[in-house]
Chains A and B, each alone.
Chain A
Amino acid sequence: MVSIFSAPLATPAQLSSSPSQQSGIPEPLEQKLNLVACRLIQAAGILMELPQPTISTAIILLQRFYLLAPISTSPLLPTSLASLYLSSKLTEHPQKPRDIINIFKYLLSPASPLHPPHLRHASAAGPSKLRNTSNKNLYYVSEGDYTALRSLLLATEARILRTLGFNTTVHLPYTLAFNYLQSLGVLSSSRSDDPSNSNAQKEGEEGGLYTPLQHDKLVSTTFAYLTDLLASPSRVYLTHHPHEIAVAGIYIAARDHGVKLPMQWWEVWDVDRETLGFLMVVIRAGTYNGDTSSDGNGNGNGGGKIWIVEEGAFEDIDGGMVVAIGRESVEKEAEKLRNS
């Protein structure tokens, strides 16, 4: 019964000494790469039509792994591939390595919406100036590349498992948040327990605290915050239990929608004021500086776009940024940051 509240968490010592930083990757760069890994896995998961729990599990596994292994020896791409592959098995939605590799190839190709627009033309036309490869390899995985990537993926999976001590228990806050919302009585004004029917049932009925449309919004806003928190630089999924994250998501979503909740309701689920306050700050801080559009508030638009390439230069453009995940590019950027 209690087991769903006892997923592994990082210790303060682990949080203060990042192996990536020790191996010469400055903290801002590590945060950027963490954010980009979340974006990539999320995008790949959506394209593969995987459920959000599978995607979230992959991201949490990746974050736990980088708590103990440096990015310099375990590059971002194979680790992202392996995390998603592993979580697809753990959540009983197994995927083929081939499909995952193909999807990531697309996401890093010039055709991808994640590709920086100012580079798209240059990359697509003629041999790339960034890489001495022929153009066609930008779009598909050759047989040789596939074999190499596949064995890299499987080796990385084994490495993730042994680094985590084979404890792959991941508990997500989504179902808890949904249960809590139901218990708070803000999802339905009548006795109906099934929120999927609530739209039909509530029509014409006198609404209680809330109208049906807003019920759905409250749930989806809560879930959006929970998913956003995955990409937070504070990595709260490594430091906080799912019930605490669930309560924080509900708190802020309810405030967004102007829903009144009982006094100190969070205490019912064993969350104290300090924890909730801290998570509020984390949520409000968003995922990275200059990116205000992703905190779910809708204020702030334009800037904050993140573009991802495999190898290339790190750039800041128009309030957005270009991040390269390849080993060489990361090393080059780390060196640049260390020298400046």
Chain B
Amino acid sequence: MGRWDTTTAEDAAEAARRKAEKEAKKAQKLERQRKAEEEAAAAARRRQDEDHARSLSVSDEPPSKRRKVSTEPDDGAATSTPTGKGSTAVNGGEKDTTETRPLRFPAPQIKPSNSVDDYEPLNRIEEGSYGVVSRARHIATGEIVALKKLKLEAETDGFPITSLREIQTLMAARHPNVVNLREVVVGEQLNQVYIVMDFIEHDLKTLLDDMPEPFLQSEIKTLMIQLLSATATIHSNWIMHRDLKTSNLLMNNRGQIKVADFGLARYFGDPCLPLTQLVVTLWYRSPELLLGAQKYGTAIDIWSIGCIFAELILKEPLFQGKSEIDQLSKIFELMGVPTDEEWPAWRRLPNSKSLRFPRTKQTTGHLLRSKFPLLTTNGVSLLSGLLSLDPAKRITAEDALKHPYFKDDPKPKSEAMFPTFPSKAGQEKRRRLSPSAPIRGDAPQLFGEVGLAGRSGLFAGMEDEEVGGGFSLKVH
């Protein structure tokens, strides 16, 4: 890649060469200086001294190597070459301009799965309908990991397509804010398969529940940037997550969130094909899915992100519907009833026929301003972009990252400045919030998977169910 525009490649190479030449000169100068100097005791001390000496001695040209504090965008790889090795860099640079060198692409090895015996089980974290997650230690390295055992005993059609998708998409979606898939290990029986992931201390749902105060605006901005950039990468790899929610966002003690649980994720195409509309946990499900759209795209993830954004501010889920109909009416209450101008295609969706809403000035248009009185204008603008009823008008993850909201004060907080929290999953079993894990049929108003099994009828008559629970805390 990157050879489409030969002129820029050459320019870059030329620039690198010039930079490297400067480097070499400076290196020689420094070498002389260093010899004159007394040997400093500690290596770290010496490097500091060099920096001082250099900043004093250099007057005719800007210093090409500074401390990491100063960010020079054009100081790319060239400056990172250590002093004294400048001459080799010059050779490399010149060679590059005369002769093309094809890029070499890395290829992972084809190798069998390791045994689960490489890991020592510690404690069970959570049990869901399609797997048990436990904490384990890699015996060789001592590293703590999360081990997810897939439930394959009941499978009649071999390895389930959903698990194939989960592994494939997790392998493809490498990003600092996506949970890292280490490997897939196996037991002795053919149906013993475990996904090994980095162990992450918290999930955002539990954190929000336990925090006395909500996140600060600066913290929310950092979290949103992380979530959006992970989602942008996932989407650009032709993957839809289809189950974004706070309990699927894990958080470590270094201020980083990791998108987890790709159990419903899959590849999509353009043009899109009919897919199952029973995806995404109800509270985070977009209106087009609720209205029965069979062709949908990445906009469904964006809607979930909008719900998560609101939840970070409110400290509780934005739309807590008891049923699909209730969910829709809660959405329309806040975001307004869809109009033909606002969402031209909505009347063609299967479930829209049965809906009647009064369309007056009072019912159309969103009420985000009054629901979020403390949010800035740009914040409201981003939220309304994420929660646009019409999926075609919903902002993309890529564009959302460029939204002025993130440039406003307060600026996004540095990850290192985030507070740390005691881990719930670290030592003991996670506290379960009221109705327990998503065992099929147990909390059907929340779990799309139930619908996948063709039980959407269960959504009827669930109005009396208790609101607010049903989340399982997933660490994987």
A: residues with CB less than 8 A from B are 1-3, 5-11, 14, 64, 67-68, 85-86, 89-90, 92, 94, 97, 153-155, 157-159, 161-169, 238, 241, 243, 267-272
Contact = CB atoms under 8 A, between A and B. Distances in A.
Contacts of B190: 155, 158-159, 162
B62 interface: no
Contact of B113 (A166, A168, A238): A166
Contacts, number: 105
Given A64-B110, A161-B193, 11 more contacts: A1-B1, A2-B105, A3-B237, A7-B107, A97-B157, A165-B113, A167-B108, A267-B102, A269-B3, A270-B103, A270-B105
A9 B113 CA distance: 16
Nearest to A151: B158
Given A1-B236, A159-B190, A270-B3, A165 B110 contact: yes
A3 B112 contact: no
A167 B171 contact: yes
A162 B107 contact: no
Which 8 pairs of residues, A with B, have the shortest CB-CB distance? A166-B184, A9-B107, A270-B102, A5-B105, A158-B190, A270-B103, A154-B158, A162-B113
Contact of A165 (B4, B111, B158, B164): B111
Given A164-B112, A165-B111, A267 B161 contact: no
Contacts of A168: 164, 167-168
A6 B108 contact: yes
A65 to B, nearest CB: 9
16 contacts: A3-B172, A6-B105, A8-B107, A8-B109, A154-B158, A163-B113, A164-B110, A165-B111, A166-B167, A168-B168, A169-B168, A238-B110, A241-B105, A267-B100, A270-B3, A270-B103
A290 B126 CA distance: 61
Contacts of B102: 267, 270-272
Contacts of B103: 270
B1 A94 contact: no
B164 A89 contact: yes
A165 B184 contact: yes
B112 A68 contact: yes
Contacts of A7: 107
Interface string B257-301: 000000000110000000000000000000000000000000000
Contacts of B114: 165
Contacts of A92: 266-267
A279 to B, nearest CB: 14
B106 interface: yes
A168 B167 CA distance: 9
A90 B163 CA distance: 10
B137 interface: no
Interface size class of B (residues with CB under 8 A): 35 or more
Nearest to A96: B157
Contact of A161 (B159, B236, B267): B159
Contacts of B184: 165-166
B112 A162 contact: yes
A227 to B, nearest CB: 21
Nearest to B163: A166
B112 A163 contact: yes
Interface of B: 1, 3-4, 100, 102-114, 157-159, 161, 164, 167-168, 171-172, 174, 183-184, 186, 190-191, 193, 236-237, 266-267
Given A3-B237, A162-B113, A157 B159 contact: yes
A169 B171 contact: yes
Contacts of A10: 110
A6 B4 contact: no
Given A68-B112, A267-B100, A90 B168 contact: yes
Contacts of B105: 2, 5-6, 241, 243, 270
A2 B113 CA distance: 24
A8 B171 contact: no
A6 B108 CA distance: 7
Contacts of A94: 161
Contact of A158 (B109, B168, B191): B191
B112 A165 contact: yes
A132 to B, nearest CB: 32
A165 B183 contact: yes
A3 B174 contact: yes
B158 A85 contact: yes
Given A165-B184, A169-B172, A272-B102, A90 B164 contact: yes
* Residue of A11, A92, A94, A169 contacting most chain B CB atoms (<10 Å): A92
Nearest to A94: B161
Contact of A67 (B100, B110, B267): B110
A2 B1 CA distance: 8
Contacts of A2: 1, 105
A132 B184 CA distance: 44
A155 B190 CA distance: 7
A233 B392 CA distance: 49
A225 to B, nearest CB: 21
Nearest to B104: A270
B164 A6 contact: no
Given A7-B107, A94-B161, A165-B184, A268 B112 contact: no
A180 to B, nearest CB: 12
Contacts of A157: 158-159
Contacts of B3: 267-270
* Residue of B112, B193, B237 contacting most chain A CB atoms (<10 Å): B112
Contacts of B267: 92
A87 to B, nearest CB: 10
A166 B152 CA distance: 15
A168 B184 CA distance: 12
